[in-house]
Structure formats: C-alpha cells, structure tokens
Structure 1
Amino acid sequence: MDDLDARTSELDRAHVFHSWSAQGALSLLPIAGGQGCTVWDHSGRTYLDFSSQLVNVNIGHQHPAVIAGIREQAAVLATIGPATGNLTRAEAAQRIAARAPGGFNKVFFTNGGADANENAIRMARLHTGRDKVVSTYRSYHGNTGGAIVATGDWRRVPNEYSRGHVHIFGPYLYRSEFWATTPEEECERALHHLRRVIQAEGPESVAAILLETIPGTAGIMVPPPGYLSGVREIADQYGVVLILDEVMAGFGRTGEWFAFDAFDVKPDLITFAKGVNSGYVPVGGVVISDEIARTFDDRVFPGGLTYSGHPLAAASIVASIDAMESEGIIAHAKKIGTDVIEPGLRALEADHPVIGEVRGTGVFWALELVADRATREPLPAALMGKAKAELVARGLLPFIADNRIHVVPPCVVTADEVATALTAYDEVLTLLDKEVS
C-alpha cells in the first residue's frame, strides 16, 4: 500500500465516524482522485465507478465546466446568507424550474435530499392543514427526523421519533404483496391498497403521499404503467398533496430530466439533490407548484437553513445543468441504457441462473440475485459480500444493496466502459453460480 493510502486509512480509522456502520471492523478503500467514470487511489490503481458513489455523480468526476463554475464563484463571493438576493442562486432556481412541468416556478434550496423531503412534508402539512404522510415500505427518503420515518426500510425502526407517518406496499411484481401475476394486476391491486389505507386512516387527516418516482436504494423498481397516474387520481380525490422524490432518479439518471417525465403524472412538490450538481457541493431542494407557493405569499414559511442557496452550490448547479444541456448528457444516458446497458444485462441474465430479475432504465439498473430462481430466495448476505469484494478486486466499484447489484454508472459512461463492467460482472456471477448450484 502507498504511504498516502496507509496514512488515509490510519487517520480514517482513528478519527472518522462513518454512517450506517459498526465502526470497529471498517476498512475503507482510499480514493485520491477521479475523472469521468474512473477514480484512483494514491498508488495509482484505478477503479471504474459503477456506483456513481451514492448514485449521485451523474455528470462524472471532475467535470471541467462544473469545477470552473465553482472556482469562478469562489473568486467573486464564496458565501452569502439566504436572506439576500444572489444572482447565481436565482439563475440556479430558474434553470431547475425550467426543467419542471408548467406551473412550477419556485425552488426552495436545502443542503441535500433528506432536508428537501423534510421541507416538502412541512409544506404539504401547512398547505393542507393535515398531518399524516403516506409512503412505501420499500423506500428511502433520507436521514433527518421526518424523512427517516417516511423511509420504509430497516433504518426507520431505530429512529421513529416523528409523528404522523403511515406506510403502504408499492408495486413490485417480482415479489408481489398482492398475489399479482401481471403488471396490470400489480398496478390495480397496489392502487386499491393505497386507496383503502387512505380511507382507513381518514382522508381528512392525510396531508401527502410521498413516493420515489422510481424507488432507488430499495431496488430500482420501475412502476407499472398506470400506477403513478392512478396515485395522482387518488391524491386529487382526497385533496392530498403528491410529493415525488427525485433525489436519486432526477437529472439524467433515468435518461430524463425528471424520472416522472416518462410517466403520465404531474406532482405538487418535487424534491431533488444528488444529480442536480453531481454532489460537487452539498445541495438539494424542493420545486414548488404555484398553488402551494401561493400559500406562503402572505404567510411566513417556518423553515430555513444557513446554507440555503449557497452560492458555490448554486454555481455548480448552473454549470452542471448547462453542461448536461450543451453536451447532450441526458439523451446519452437514455440511449446508452437502451442500446448498451440493457442488452448487456439481459445477456447476463440469460447466462447466469443466480440472476432472478433485471430491471431499470437509463443508467439506473438492478440485478436481483437469488439462490434459487424457482423460489426466488434472495442470495445470502455472505455471498453478496463476496460479490462486492470480487468486483473491487477486478477494478470495479459496485453499488450493493441487500441481494442486488445496482448498475448505476455516471450518465457520461461510454460503451467501452460498460463492456469492461459487463466482463467483471460476468466473471463474478460465474463464481456465484457455482456457489448456489
């Protein structure tokens, strides 16, 4: 190990307290630099980043236009409080609103995706005068007080300090909660389930339905045709605000500016973070429908953050959106997903019994791994750990969640880089096939 890699590991173990981890056994990969879809350690060993870190580096590492935008802003004004007007902040908000549907003209900036969802919940409650928020069990919305309780996975359970949250099962045909055998059945029954839960909770008590347009960490489950439009109809019927969480799925990840652009649905509030500037500076926010924004024309919005609309973050958004537009990055993500990633993953599915299902869109895919295709028994955690280690040994940084490998490279990934990753996946899946045969 290079001296700087060793020094990084030594200091990290001694002083850094890491998220979602037992600290004692951690041994993390030191990363010194990156460019595009590649990162490297201090010794110069390179890794192809097919995790996009936390599925956020959509524009790739060290994009020159974004770095230049941050530098130029830092030279002019490195920070300013939110209770001021700032041109860069206003330009960032304008660019985001321009990609939203008609009737969305205001953006509230936050420090990331969790507090974006937190503030969207606050807006929905204040706008409706109601309290409850309905979200799915298979979801992740962030690690702040309300967002973590809106989350459905295990991380909610030790953190249930927020009031008024109700959970439902969303559509997931591969492991249907509704005994469905077709997408149509799954859609119809999932919508019936949602409607009955709202009725049972009392529609007059429900402020919002909060959904990831395409659940990400929970498994990249593309909703069946008609589901999101059906949710919209239910929300309208009961006067409920529809919040679509685009934190992971937005800004190119699905080959669209917003993932919901591919569906027949228009939300009331849109949350974003991650891909809006690829995480170069921490930022997130809420895109607010004009109707909800008008609620606060003559009423104080009781929320704010010291770094809301931070100029360095705003500059990174402006540069990132402009580069995505001028370089055709959104269209590229869609095309490489259709033409390269999906055919490659389907070929792996045909060759490897350990793959139970392939699903996704754009540069947002999951391989669900099983010990037995007939029973769909999830691949054990020990074998998922082996898969991760074997992929890293082959120079590929994977995103592993439960019994899934998420194939989530930056939107700028090339066909050659996808081919390199597919070779690594193929080799590791071959090892896993032998383990379960």
Structure 2
Amino acid sequence: MIDLCKQHTMYTWAKGDAVDPIPVERAEGVYMYTPDGQRILDFNSQLMCVNIGHGHPKVIEAIKKQLEQLVYVYPGTATAVRARTAKLLSEIVPGDINTFFFTSGGAEANENAIKIARQYTGRHKILSRYRSYHGATEACMQLTGDPRRWANEPGGPGYIKVMDPRPYTYSFGETDEEKTAENLKYLEEVIMYEGPHTIAAMFVETVTGTNGVQPPPAGYLKGLKALLEKYGILLVCDEVMAGFGRTGKMFAFEHYDFVPDILTMAKGLNSSYIPLGAVGMSDKLAAHFQENVFWGGLTYNSHCVGLAAAEATIHVMRDEGLVENAAKLQHVMRSEMDRLQAKHPSFKEGRALGLFGMVDLQKNSKGEPMAPYNGAHPAMNELGKFFRDNGLFTFVRWGSFMCNPPLCITEEQLKEGFEIIDRGLEITDRAFEG
C-alpha cells in the first residue's frame, strides 16, 4: 500500500523520496488504526478538520441517503439540500451573514472571497498578514504569509503583507492594549502609503492557525474592523481552521464582539467527510450581487453530497454539544500544558482556546526556539518519531507541535495524549542547553 502510494501519487509539501506515510486502514472517533492493528490517537483532527471525529454514523447515513436520491446537478439548479444547508448556516452564523457561495474547500473559498471583495469595491489590492496561511492555490499562496509562499512567487499583483499584532520576534508592546493600539497605528500608516482607494479587503485568520495558534490581543479585531470601515475596506475572516466549534464557540469571531464582512469556512463545515467550503457574506454584499453579476463559478459549487454531509455535521455538533465540550475541555488542556511547563525545561509556552492548541519548545533559558523560523532541529525530528511510534498523531513544525483533537474527545482521552507528550518531552529536555 505504501509503496504504490509513493510510486503513483504525489504528496503535499514534501519530496517524494522523503515521504514516510502512515498506513491507515480505518478510523473511528478520535482514533486511527493501521492495517497491523496499531491504534493512533488523532491529536490534530487530521488537518484541524475532523471536528466531530471519524466515522460518525449519522453523517455517513446522510451521505448514503443523498447518494440514493441525487448526487450531482450543475450549479444553476435548486436542490432541497442546498436550500436546507444554506438556511441552517444563516441561522448559526451571527450577525447579517445570511448568503453563502459553496466551494470545494477552504482555498477555493478564499479565492472566491477575493473575487467578491474586488468586484464589490472596484478596488484591487488585498492586505494580509505575515503569520498566516490561507491555502495552496495560486492566489491564496499570495495571501499567505508563511514560507510556503516563497516557492510560489512571484504571484499576481496587488497582495500586500503587514505585520501581525504578535510578530514572530518583534513586539508592538507588552500588554494587549499596547499591542492592539500600536499595530493598528502601524496598519493605518500602511493603508496611507498604499492608498485606501486601491484596497479592497484585508484577510485575517480570526485565530492564527498553523503559524502559532495565536488568539488576537484584546480589542484587536474590533478595532481592526472599525479602522477598515473608515476607509471602505472589507474585513474577511478566514475561519477554515478556527470555525465550527474549534475555539469553544461555533465561530471564533464570536469571542471578539464584531462581525466580519465576509467569512470563509471549510474543514469543520462537514468535518471533511466530503470536500466542501463556503463563503458567507453580509447582506450589503449579497444585495450588490442581486443586481450585479458575480463573475465566478465552479463545477462543484453546491455539490449535493458535500452539502448533505455539512447539514448532518452541523446537527451532530449541536445535538451532541461538541462546541460546549471544546469550551469545557479548554481548562483541561490548559492545566495539562501548565503541568508540563512546570516539569520540562524545554517547554516554553502553551496556548489553548477551546481545543485549538499549540506548544512552543525552547533550547535555552533565554527562550530561543528549539528550531529557528522555517528550520529544523534533530530533537524535534526525534520527538515527531516518538509521537508516531507511541500512537500519537499530530504535527511537529519547526520548534512547536499542535494539540487540536476532535471535539468529541473525552477528558480521559485528552489526558492520554498529554501523557504521551509528557514522555516525549524528555527528548527535547536532553537538547536543552540551560
């Protein structure tokens, strides 16, 4: 199985010769199983996407039922599942976001959000942040700030990067209030330099995902929305990772007392059982496209089977209290991180909002990262192997690793994951320089 996959398929973000894929035969709940019977705790919900857990029977049944009724029709039709799912989304997304354009995934959602913003405003420039990831398509690579964009440059014109309120090494201040005030002051100067009349939108991950699981400082997003409104610039919140219960709210922006103009989503929308994404837009944008053509289209727009999975997934999340479970278990993840930080000198910092978590490791008491920006360290490679050999699946990246289990995880299972992490950190402790 592994040999044929490597021989005949291409893997993402990797050299083919270096790929060492995990063989997976089946998955259920919070666990994956290899053909030889090894049980692996999924501590990252795959790509932060299987929010309801693997193999939920109600979603599988909904998919089967839809397959028997209607699989695919072209996007210009009306279907019952399209009507129901769009109405359901309008009910659960706060504020005046009531209209949705369905895509095949998160990158396509962001691509179409770019089109919507540009066509609505008549402007072409797009702001985004350096500590960001927005997808691997051509335009989304230009939105993205992290190093994966480098090999995809140069891209199209008009993409402007700005610093985050919490940059990688620099600080805008010590307190949240200082970080917010100084970053917004800096951003307004960038807007002045670029010309506000040329800027259509700014894209942000409501909570930065793979580049740190960084919640914004207090007041930042509400202040950002007000600043952008001052210049007629739309705010797009990318919640492909942070949405659908991950942070202990159905949508991450609910933590911060504002509503974006555009909301992009995927992953947790149907827990990735079937490819699906969506762009949600405010009523003022939707009204514009009632009277003006939207110049965009996708063969798989509003695919019946993907929508059936989304509808069932949302009902599972609500009926089984998975958003509430994520909020409840935040304190367990936080306490486990605090316990490990007190025990292991290589543990620098842990962050958790709901079940959205990341741990940063350090190589010395100065707090220098165990691995440099976009770099590696032998101890991190060894730690990743330890996790895999001991039945824990997560992502080890640079000097950090992720803690993003399915929202159906129990307190006992969560502590099972941290027990493996506890033993693994002995590896990075040995690399700690004092």
Q: Is the Cα–Cα contact under 8 Å of residues 95 and 259 in structure 2 kept in the other structure?
A: no
Q: What does residue range 387-402 of structure 1 map to in structure 2 within 5 Å?
A: 387-402=383-398
TM-score, normalized by length of structure 1?
0.96
Unaligned stretches of 5+ residues in structure 1: 1-7
Indicate which of 22, 26, 30 corresponds to 1:29. Answer: 22
Q: Is the Cα–Cα contact under 8 Å of residues 365 and 408 in structure 1 kept in the other structure?
A: yes
3-state SS of paired residue (1:39): strand
What are the superposed Cα offsets for residues 324-370 of structure 1, whole Å, 9 maximum, x if unpaired? 111111111110112x1111111111111211111121110110111
Identity within the alignment, %: 38
Say if 2:270 is the partner of 1:277. yes
1:410, 1:194 → 2: CA distance? Answer: 36
Indicate which of 128, 131, 144 corresponds to 2:124. Answer: 131
Residue 362 of structure 2: aligned partner: 370
What are the superposed Cα offsets for residues 39-93 of structure 1, whole Å, 9 maximum, x if unpaired? 0011111100001111100000001111111011001111111110011011111
- Aligned partner letter, 1:408: N
1:25 positional shift: 2.1
Indicate which of 192, 201, 210 corresponds to 2:203. Answer: 210
Residue 343 of structure 1: aligned partner: 335
Say if 2:161 is the partner of 1:167. yes
2:182, 2:426 → 1: CA distance? Answer: 37
Say if 2:191 is the partner of 1:198. yes
1:378, 1:229 → 2: CA distance? Answer: 34
- Aligned partner letter, 1:72: K
1:178 positional shift: 3.3
1:92, 1:78 → 2: CA distance? Answer: 15
Residue 43 of structure 1: aligned partner: 36
- Aligned partner letter, 2:406: P
1:216, 1:375 → 2: CA distance? Answer: 22
Residue 423 of structure 2: aligned partner: 427
3-state SS of paired residue (1:149): helix
What are the superposed Cα offsets for residues 229-285 of structure 1, whole Å, 9 maximum, x if unpaired? 110011111000000000000001101110000112210000000001110000001
1:280, 1:30 → 2: CA distance? Answer: 19
Q: Is the Cα–Cα contact under 8 Å of residues 51 and 268 in structure 2 kept in the other structure?
A: yes
What are the superposed Cα offsets for residues 138-178 of structure 1, whole Å, 9 maximum, x if unpaired? 100001121110000111122232221000111227x4523
Q: Is the Cα–Cα contact under 8 Å of residues 41 and 391 in structure 2 kept in the other structure?
A: yes
1:180 positional shift: 2.0
Q: What does residue range 38-437 of structure 1 map to in structure 2 within 5 Å?
A: 38-160=31-153, 161-172=155-166, 175-338=168-331, 340-379=332-371, 380-437=376-433
1:324, 1:373 → 2: CA distance? Answer: 42
What are the superposed Cα offsets for residues 363-392 of structure 1, whole Å, 9 maximum, x if unpaired? 101101111231423334322211110011
Q: 1:179 to 1:318 in 2, by over 3 A?
A: closer
Q: Is the Cα–Cα contact under 8 Å of residues 379 and 427 in structure 2 kept in the other structure?
A: no
Q: Is the Cα–Cα contact under 8 Å of residues 337 and 362 in structure 1 kept in the other structure?
A: yes
Q: Is the Cα–Cα contact under 8 Å of residues 169 and 177 in structure 1 kept in the other structure?
A: no
- Aligned partner letter, 1:317: A
3-state SS of paired residue (2:290): coil
Q: 1:344 to 1:375 in 2, by over 3 A?
A: closer
What are the superposed Cα offsets for residues 79-126 of structure 1, whole Å, 9 maximum, x if unpaired? 111110011011111111211123121100000000100101110111
3-state SS of paired residue (2:357): strand
- Aligned partner letter, 2:309: S
3-state SS of paired residue (2:275): coil
What are the superposed Cα offsets for residues 387-430 of structure 1, whole Å, 9 maximum, x if unpaired? 11001111100122221111000011111111111110100112
1:288, 1:172 → 2: CA distance? Answer: 28
3-state SS of paired residue (1:308): coil
- Aligned partner letter, 2:403: V
TM-score, normalized by length of structure 2?
0.96
How many pairs does the alignment contain?
428
3-state SS of paired residue (1:247): coil
